[in-house]
Amino acid sequence: MIVWVNGAFGSGKSTLVEELRPRWPQALVYDPEMTGFVLRKIVEVPTGDFQDLRLWRRQVAELAVGLVEEYRRPVLVPMALVDPGYVGEIFGALKDAGIDVHHFFLQVPREVLEKRIDGRVFFPDDPEREQAVRRWAKGRIEPCLAGAATLPGGTVFLDGELTPRELADRVLARVGAGEGR
């Protein structure tokens, strides 16, 4: 099983997965962003967004399938993914492999997302790069919020302003996993 935690930058995807980890110790965590970072070291990313690389999408699906098949453990995936074509490509590959995907989207108002992004430190020793990352993250908010309306049926929308513990309770109850199960 894969539990895909989706949402805009600053919505709390990684925080939710960090809350789930100790409560669901058998689950593995796979962050597809790492795959993107590796690809950036190898090839040019003309658009600046590694999700636009077909190879990234293929590798994300193949590694997720491999983790489930090889280790027979649930996999938690914190990753913003809202382009309908990319969602279809990745989730389609997971479905074709017979993997059960539980898809959650954290809904958070734009103002809250911007405040959370402004409160994060990405590159403390490089103010120019810090601002560039913040601008990029904020620039992705609108497409992410708009893309939420195109997500596949079965996506569970959660109030991203709930506490991480409350969100984790909802996820664990929905997938029938975690503490004492």
Which tens digits make up the pLDDT trace of 142-158?
999 999 999 999 999 99
Write the pLDDT tens digit of every residue in 5-62: 999 999 999 999 999 999 999 999 999 999 999 999 999 999 989 999 999 999 999 9
CB burial of residue 64 (10 Å; 0-12, 13-18, 19+):
buried
Residue 181 domain-assigned (yes or no): no
Residue 175 domain-assigned (yes or no): no
Say how many residues make up the chain: 181
Residue 178 domain-assigned (yes or no): no
Write the pLDDT tens digit of every residue in 73-91: 999 999 999 999 999 999 9
3-class DSSP state of 86: helix
User: How many domains does the structure of the chain reveal?
Assistant: 1
For 79, the domain range is 2-170
Phi, then psi, of 126 in degrees rounded to 5:
-140, 80
Residue 103 domain-assigned (yes or no): yes
Residue 180 domain-assigned (yes or no): no
| Portion of the chain with pLDDT greater than 90, in percent | 90
Q: What's the CATH code of the domain at 165?
A: 3.40.50.300
Rounded CA separation 33/77 (Å): 10
pLDDT for 53 equals 96
Say which residue, 178 or 125, is predicted with more confidence. Answer: 125
